[in-house]
Structure 1
Amino acid sequence: MENKKGTGKTALITGASSGIGQELAKLFAQDGYNLVLVARSVDTLHRLAEVFELNYGTAQVTVIEKDLSEEDAARDVYERVQSKGIVVDVLVNDAGVGVHGKFANETDWEAEKSMIHLNVLTTTLLTKLCLRDMVARNEGKVLNLASLVSIMPFPLMTVYAATKAYINSFTQSLVNELKDTNVTITALMPNATDTDFFNKAGASDVLATDMVDDPVVVARDGYEALMSGKPKVVPGGLVNKAYEVMAYVAPQETMAGMMRYTLTPKSEIARKLDERKPLFWAVGIGLAAAAVTGITLAARNRRTLAAD
């Protein structure tokens, strides 16, 4: 019989009804964990529970319907779990939302306030409540969904990026505080991912939606990093790692311009490209000439080195 490493343990996952959260829940179920699934879409959670029980033999799936943007939502979830006698061995703070638009005059404050409550306050309090118990037992794991934009400016989703910067800093500080315990905490820092995130944020037509990663890959990389006790993970391939390096070394204004471009509606980009077509042709020819020159010089240099 296959040895499932999570048998008997419980993982609490917020935002488990879709996207990265759902894929993470599947991985925990496959490894024999009992689950506490938290989201607003209770019908979806119940269907997931049936799938996990049927496909993976999950012994216990507890479904909690909760809007985590509400005041004291985290405490309510924690107390409901405690009342059932459930010990949370792994906490996954996946739930989060974004809001798209210019902060000064396009976005809605109530939506942003709700986002801050969900992304920051609920995550912080739920982590505090569960972490306190984990430290007392000297065992446990936490996975916080940060983002690659937590280390760079992100115009047109300014407040969202700020909430993720908070989560990343919060997590890395806790890594240090927990270093003398058997409790670990990990920041998952994905690039844009193929979920319903952009649609819910009012950004379904932005360029970034053409450059999304697979949530299955993101969840797998996050799960492996969590189980290994790593402080952070940037899932995906070399492109995402390159973005991380650029965020640390490139000028902030350069990064801001690049990231704003990815959040620009594709229709607006197409219009601007059409208006500037002669300019872009000139720039394109110039870049091509520079590239050819660079390749020629590199080849000549290689021949010189070979002769030497």
Structure 2
Amino acid sequence: MTTPFAPRVFSGMQPTGNLHLGNYLGAMVNWIAMQSTHQCIYCVVDLHAITVAQDPVALRRAIIEVTAAYLACGLDPKQSIIFNQSQVAEHAELAWIFNCVARLGWLNRMTQFKEKAGKDRENVAVGLYAYPVLMAADILVYKATHVPVGDDQKQHLELSRDIAQKFNMDFAGSIASHGFGEVFFPLPEPMITGPATRVMSLRDGTKKMSKSDVSDYSRINLTDSPEAIAQKIRKAKTDPEPLPSEEKGLAGRAEAENLVGIYAALTGADVSSVLGEFGGGQFSRFKTALADAAVARLSPISADMRRWLDDEGAVEAVLAEGSARARAIAAPVMREVRDIVGLLRSR
């Protein structure tokens, strides 16, 4: 039997590059909806960003821009806690304790590190290797029970569960003697939902839409103008065949499947009804409708982002207030961790 934990959601995005349509449909739409059903904590994970080299001036600007995107998309600082990670020191402190709980073999299995480090692993930052341990601390310092994640982060969330479980086992006696029940940390559950959990590149339907892609035509940025959005969709890679009338006809046609999925997510339709409307026709007609849907959905977000970015002080105020609210949750948890581990509390 385990101690029950109040449902709490934690998630975050790095302040690196512009947020794009994939971030919005794959994560933000779901984050916004959960504000009405869960206690939500949404973070700009700036400590994760510095696991690779960053220009300090550009990083500060990116933190503001990502926060502005959060707000413009519909995250409400009155409903959710919105803050940037580096302002809550408990993230880093708990990460160090978790570094002493996690095992080298666990981290050696992390495929994302292998992909990012490439062949020159000996010369990458230790932070990039230990990134998943900090992610575990991000989640567990709030005793979050649910984490909206993409497919690429599922392995990291599994590591968070392993760390939580090992901490609970390693310090079971201390946890009980301090009156914290049978377990201290919950095992967070993944939430992989949303209208389009894996939006692919407009230039290659086999690759995920990414902020780091060298081609700006591979993605639709939340800051793009209506003209830029329409042009990128017109230039999106397709194949010479007309759209199929049934879903099974999308098999093996990655670009067609991606564009149809995006249209369905933007309009709230299902894929079969989209194909019922556009199946048998050429891509030109479908792309026109897709561009119209994307502009209608994203233009208000882009305009609201510009409004927030014109008042950086207001964005900073949101982060300051959110950080204070986040610390109010994290600090007591961290004090209890110190007691459990056997560290002295500061006077």
Name whichever structure is richer in strand by fraction: 1
RCO higher in structure (CA 8 A, sep ≥6): 2
TM normalised by structure 2 equals 0.31
